[in-house]
Chain A
Amino acid sequence: MRLRAQYRVGPELKFLANLDMMHLMERALRRAQIPYLLSEGFNPHIRLSMGTVLPVGLWGEKEYFDLELKPMPAAEFMTAMNNTLPPGMQIQLCREIPPGTPSLMKMVNAAEYAFMIKKSSLELGDIIAQILAQPEISVQSRGKNKSVFKDLRPGIFGITIEVADQIEIVNVMVSVNEPLNIRFDELLDVFTGRGVNQELMLDFWRRGNYIRQGDKFSAPLEARG
């Protein structure tokens, strides 16, 4: 069967690279004695696909993986895994998905990032209005080809602010993967370039990963099927 799981990566694990995260998950699968399936060939590996790649330095509220395994109740899987995962990482939801369901990599095309910002003389509302009003936001790519400039504006779907006592939390929904991949560090540049410097940023993390269809954003385990 194929199983899709939603999990949390706590702040204590934010420095792990993607490969480290994968090893952590594979080791947990072995400790929990999950009946995972192995690939064929000389170098068999667990049929685990980490669908979402969390950038180093960020923690994540809702990340996802798919796993192929021998039939087992999803609830049992979750309990067995949560008993052995390190503190800071828990599976929150999991469900069997039908064979042929497109991979997470193919489906996920939006992500929401949160920036926790210390209150200061900066008017965040104005800065955000200014960002949204711009027809084009050109940044130097942080990806493989660094000489390329890319326009982030069409990939910024929405920005909201939550105001609390001493802080404000800015949530940004952006396009990821195809057709336009906005990297977290590129997004960070958009803010730091407008005076929201690193000293004011108390924390940042990824809120979640979404499948965008038109104006609708749904989480990978939200809608059945």
Chain B
Amino acid sequence: MKDRIIKDILPRVSKPARYTGGELNMLKKDWEKSKIKMVFAFPDVYEIGMSHIGGKILYGLVNETTNHLMERSFAPWPDMENLMREEGIPLYSLESFTPLNRFDVVGFSLQYELSITNVLNMLDLSAIPLRAKDRQENDPLIIAGGPVSFNPEPFADFFDVFLIGEGEELLPEFLDCLEQNRGLDRKSRLLKAAAIEGVYVPALYSVEYNADKTLFKMNPADPSVSARVRKRVVKDLDSAYYPMKPIVPYMEIVHDRVVLEVMRGCQRACRFCHAGVVYRPVREKSINVLKNQAECQLQSTGYDEISLASLSTLDYSGVDRLVKDLVKTYGDKGVGVALPSLRVDAFSIELANEVQKVRKTTLTLAPEAGTQRLRDVINKNISEEDLFKAVEAAFGSGWNSVKLYFMLGLPSETEADLDGILELLARVRSIGNRLSRRPVEVRASLACFVPKAHTPFQWRTQNSIAQLEEKRRYMVKQKMRSIKLSFHNSETSMLEGVLARGDRRLGEVIYQAWLNGCKFDGWSEYFKYEQWMEAFTTCNIDPTFYVERERPYNELFPWDFIDTGVSKAYLYEENVMATTGLCTPDCRQVGCLSCGVCPELEVNLDLKEEG
């Protein structure tokens, strides 16, 4: 099959290097000698999937530290998909060109709600039944993990297993369990796996609804199955596995550089933020561990850039020393350091200037809202003064363009908040023009606020498409010179919202949407809103039920059984504080605020304080 793909198929597709495998540092384990054969399936194209750090960790973890094997597969771009279907070529893994249905486990990484149609498409291309209930003894187990699986219910029909939480902890244990129970039938193996903390097997639960369509109850089908599924966390990141020899793709990918994960979690407690809750608590790596990882990765890849990744890298306690040391060690070899996101303050800019000695990067800041009032509502703890100081420092030291991130449709937003965004942009521009020799460029990206499960705003309504479009028109009307506004698609955001807080009944809608031809929904050129709406109509489900309804305090949510360690009472309290505009400080500075995660998961806030 490999020869045929390379000779007959690939010359006819765009970017053939997506489909060849064989990259530097690829690990191809002996098929016969390996125990459980798993393929890591990423429901988007190669250059997106290969940029994902979690996949790199799991790939190395399984292949280097266990006697199982893991290969890779990505969603083929539509031109390749069409050829594969025409020529009868199944979806295959890049290591051994093995069709996906010959693996024991196909594991999907769910990073984004709308990638689910690509999951269905990839299963279909692999001749694997799309629904878990239709799969036979010989079919692989289809599993999923990643941030989206913290509300697994809309996707429950399609997966045999969800792994909740951090894979370093959970995946090897899960694979070992499958190996130990290899002789058992499918159902018994799933029952065994369900006993592992963090493993959720949707088929082992039945769901009942109230007359008003809200959730009444989730019942475990077997007394041995736990009613709640608790996420798994790595307690000490220093000793956790981290890849020293990641794969270096031949083609350019989105994040084409060494990625150092400096810490996991974020304690800033922004009330809209899903990652901020599900990845709690903050656990940092030691500076020496990071320097060693940087050295090994540079040595084994030859990359010319190191990116310091985390939810909020500037909050890493050793960031100043780490950046300066890395620049000092590698700068004269032409190797640069990248800070993917900056905190809104002058310190961040000073540090970014260190980095800029080697290579220019884009300056992006995220005030999220246009007025102090609204920033207090969402608990984005930055002041206007911080922002202007940051911008002054940036333009004063030679930056020439700034990109600012905002959200539209936040709870309690009024016209004054929209005006606030525009005024803020104008102020930034005038600071720039005062301090910079050339005319400055100010860009603003306006995303639509989508309330997410497990956040303080999980009770809130999402703005309708009509409301968001109205706000967009309002803002576009006030044309401003050298300020560029870009808006996220409100239809995409609505669908994201439905899936983010949806329940099991949406499985049918997803299936219908896929039948209607939906795929690559995260790509604007492929997103088919009408086909999705048709699917809702076919299934007689009203999408607005999931997004435009204010939920009462006592409503049972479909994701409540997933235990992130953060209590629902804490989230609700935060929600109430939002209404009154009260801020919650960072618990690493003021002490414990009793969100529940540390005692519940028996893990500590792990800061590597540098003097």
Q: Of the candidates B22, B252, B299, which one forms a contact with A20 in the assembled complex, judged by CB atoms under 8 Å apart?
A: B252
B335 surroundings in chain A (CB, below 8 A):
30
| In contact, A13 and B250 (Cβ under 8 angstroms) | yes
| In contact, B301 and A20 (Cβ under 8 angstroms) | no
Any B CB within 8 A of the CB of A16: yes
B252 surroundings in chain A (CB, below 8 A):
19-20, 23
| In contact, A38 and B10 (Cβ under 8 angstroms) | no
A17 surroundings in chain B (CB, below 8 A):
17, 251
Question: How many residues in A have their beta carbons less than 8 Å from beta carbons of B?
Answer: 26
Complex CA gap A43/B17 in Å reads: 27
B11 surroundings in chain A (CB, below 8 A):
57
Complex CA gap A26/B17 in Å reads: 18
| In contact, A16 and B17 (Cβ under 8 angstroms) | yes
Residues in A188-208 with C-beta less than 8 Å from chain B? none
10 contacts between A and B (CB under 8 A): A15-B17, A16-B17, A16-B250, A16-B251, A26-B304, A27-B248, A43-B359, A43-B360, A56-B16, A86-B22
B16 surroundings in chain A (CB, below 8 A):
15, 56-57
Rounded to whole Å, the gap between the CB of A58 and the closest CB of chain B is 10
Any A CB within 8 A of the CB of B592: no
Contact A42/B360 with A12-B22, A27-B248 known, Cβ cut-off 8 Å: yes
List 16 other contacts, CB 8 Å, given A15-B16, A15-B20, A86-B22.
Answer: A12-B22, A15-B17, A16-B17, A16-B250, A20-B251, A23-B256, A24-B250, A27-B301, A28-B302, A29-B302, A30-B303, A31-B301, A42-B359, A42-B360, A44-B334, A56-B16
Complex CA gap A196/B360 in Å reads: 51
Any B CB within 8 A of the CB of A46: yes
Any B CB within 8 A of the CB of A45: yes
Any A CB within 8 A of the CB of B207: no
Closest chain B residue to A12 by CB distance?
A: B22
Q: Mark B556-582, 1 if CB is under 8 A from A, else 0.
A: 000000000000000000000000000
| In contact, B334 and A86 (Cβ under 8 angstroms) | no
Q: Of the candidates B23, B299, B359, which one forms a contact with A31 in the assembled complex, judged by CB atoms under 8 Å apart?
A: B299
B359 surroundings in chain A (CB, below 8 A):
42-43
Complex CA gap A42/B400 in Å reads: 14
Complex CA gap A172/B10 in Å reads: 25
Q: Mark B1-39, 1 if CB is under 8 A from A, else 0.
A: 000000000110000110010111000000000000000
Residues in B166-194 with C-beta less than 8 Å from chain A? none
Closest chain A residue to B301 by CB distance?
A: A27
Contact A30/B298 with A15-B10, A15-B17, A15-B20 known, Cβ cut-off 8 Å: yes
Give the contact-size bracket for chain B.
Answer: 20 to 34
| In contact, A26 and B302 (Cβ under 8 angstroms) | yes
Complex CA gap A43/B251 in Å reads: 21
Rounded to whole Å, the gap between the CB of A23 and the closest CB of chain B is 7
Any A CB within 8 A of the CB of B300: yes
Q: Of the candidates A13, A15, A31, which one forms a contact with B300 in the assembled complex, judged by CB atoms under 8 Å apart?
A: A31
B20 surroundings in chain A (CB, below 8 A):
12, 15
Rounded to whole Å, the gap between the CB of B94 and the closest CB of chain A is 13
Closest chain A residue to B13 by CB distance?
A: A15
Q: Of the candidates B24, B299, B300, B333, which one forms a contact with A86 in the assembled complex, judged by CB atoms under 8 Å apart?
A: B24
Closest chain A residue to B16 by CB distance?
A: A15
Q: Mark B281-318, 1 if CB is under 8 A from A, else 0.
A: 00000000000000000111111100000000000000
Complex CA gap A38/B16 in Å reads: 32
B333 surroundings in chain A (CB, below 8 A):
30
Complex CA gap A27/B303 in Å reads: 6
Q: Mark A169-180, 1 if CB is under 8 A from B, else 0.
A: 000000000000
Rounded to whole Å, the gap between the CB of A1 and the closest CB of chain B is 18
| In contact, B299 and A46 (Cβ under 8 angstroms) | no
A24 surroundings in chain B (CB, below 8 A):
250
Rounded to whole Å, the gap between the CB of A66 and the closest CB of chain B is 18
A28 surroundings in chain B (CB, below 8 A):
302
Rounded to whole Å, the gap between the CB of B297 and the closest CB of chain A is 11
Contact A31/B334 with A15-B17, A43-B360, A57-B11 known, Cβ cut-off 8 Å: no
A20 surroundings in chain B (CB, below 8 A):
17, 250-252
Complex CA gap A43/B335 in Å reads: 10
